[in-house]
Amino acid sequence: MHIMEGFLPVKHAIGWSIASAPVVAYGLHTINKKIKENPEQRMLLGVAAAFTFVLSALKMPSITGSCSHPTGTGLGAVLFGPTAVAPIGAVVLLFQALMLAHGGLTTLGANIFSMAIAGPFAAAATFRLARSARLPFGVAVFLAASLGDLLTYVTTSCQLALAFPDPVGGFAASFTKFAGVFALTQIPLAISEGFLTVIVMNALVRFNREELNSLRIETGQEAQT
Amino acid sequence: MKRYQNLILMFLVVLLVVIPLWLVKCPAPGPDGKMVEIFTGADDKAKRTISTIEPQYKPWFKPLMEPPSGEISSLLFALQAALGAGFIGYWLGSSVTRAKIKRQKSKV
């Protein structure tokens, strides 16, 4: 989902940066507030950030014959809410832009928007919907993480289609092309991300039940304690 | 079922990674004799898509620093993953120990 350095026209680069900056700032504020209220949640925040570090470094093969990587943002979005993930994603993307020439500074705003804002918001919304539809906790976590991952790549496709509309077919034709590259490749990876998130969440439920309760996350197993 | 859930999920993830490696075959070299590369990054493919849609587009900014080779960039990616995995390992280890101590205390 990384849009390469310099590959967004100036106006788009600035626009996406302006859109992302306040969310990252608000996310920092949310994290500070949550940690101040419940210092014991620091460990959980660390796990969520570490999960994003691992997953976004893993480039996995897909059935389309190209490689891409999961985002790992769904876990944090379910635990701490979508805005808290924005600064975490920003750190990862900044590291990759500066050290790896993967993504870039001019495209940082757009990449933060897709990976650390659009995806996490989709994940958190999916989780709420799934839980209010009385789906089991594990299924809700799986759906949230997978759809959040997939939506990140759909967002990237939208951003590129907006910047480079097809001369004949316009936005729609261009979107189909980019989605063919990104979203299609991402489907098996999104499923993998869903499974991996459930595995980590299972461990959290087992070992950190009190912290989860203080985040008001209902795992459906409260009665057992 | 619940007991084996994590193992089954891990197995499925491995399956999802292995199946593409097994299914996607490298196509025969084109007429120019150049080998077609498979499993390249989707980001690079998007870059090529941009140049087919708008051939005259030129990137207006260059990365400040580029890893000098593929080896170096895989080093940095491994470093990123190791940092994350290291923390998760630390958390898991301390959690298991904490649970064990709790159990022993409640036994006594």
Quote the distance between the C-alpha of residue B100 and its chain's center.
Answer: 33
Inside any domain, residue B39? yes
Provide CB contacts within 8 A for A30, sequence distance 6+.
A80, A81, A83, A84
Q: Could you tell me the pTM of the whole model?
A: 0.93
Full residue range of the structural domain in which residue A47 is found? 10-218
Tell whether the model's pLDDT for residue A223 goes beyond 60.
no
Inspect the interface and report whether the beta carbons of B57 and A164 lie closer than 8 Å.
yes
Contact A69, A58 (CB under 8 A): yes
| C-alpha to C-alpha distance for A41 and A74, rounded to whole angstroms | 17
End-to-end CA distance of chain B: 32
pLDDT in tens, B36-76: 788 888 988 998 999 999 999 999 998 888 888 889 999 99
Inside any domain, residue B31? yes
Long-range contacts, A30-38 (Cβ 8 Å, 24+)? A30/A80, A30/A81, A30/A83, A30/A84, A31/A80, A31/A84, A31/A87, A34/A80, A34/A84, A38/A211, A38/A214, A38/A215
Residues of B in contact with A174 (CB under 8 A): 53
Inside any domain, residue B2? no
Full residue range of the structural domain in which residue B79 is found? 24-59+68-107
The answer, for A177 touching chain B at a CB cutoff of 8 Å, is yes
Residues of B in contact with A59 (CB under 8 A): 41, 77
Tell me how many domains chain A contains.
1
Q: How far is the alpha carbon of B55 from chain A, nearest alpha carbon, in Å? A: 11
Inside any domain, residue A16? yes
Inspect the interface and report whether the beta carbons of A106 and B61 lie closer than 8 Å.
yes
Mean pLDDT of A83-108: 94
Inside any domain, residue A60? yes
Tell whether the model's pLDDT for residue A224 goes beyond 50.
no
Inside any domain, residue A46? yes
Q: Record the tokens describing residue A169, joined without a space.
A: 């077919």
Tell me how many domains chain B contains.
1
Q: Record the tokens describing residue A23, joined without a space.
A: 């969310």
Q: How far is the alpha carbon of B32 from chain A, nearest alpha carbon, in Å? A: 21
Residues forming a β-bridge with A170? A166
Residues of A in contact with B59 (CB under 8 A): 4-7
For residue A154, the model assigns a pLDDT of: 97
Q: What is the ipTM of this complex?
A: 0.90
Scan residues 45-104 of A and list those with Cβ closer than 8 Å to B. 46-47, 49-68, 92, 95-102, 104
Q: How confident is the model at residue A1 (pLDDT cuts 50, 70, 90)?
A: confident
CATH code of the domain in which A192 resides: 1.10.1760.20
Residues forming a β-bridge with A60? A68
Q: Record the tokens describing residue A179, joined without a space.
A: 């989605």
The enclosing H or E element of A191 equals helix A183-207
| C-alpha to C-alpha distance for B1 and A33, rounded to whole angstroms | 39
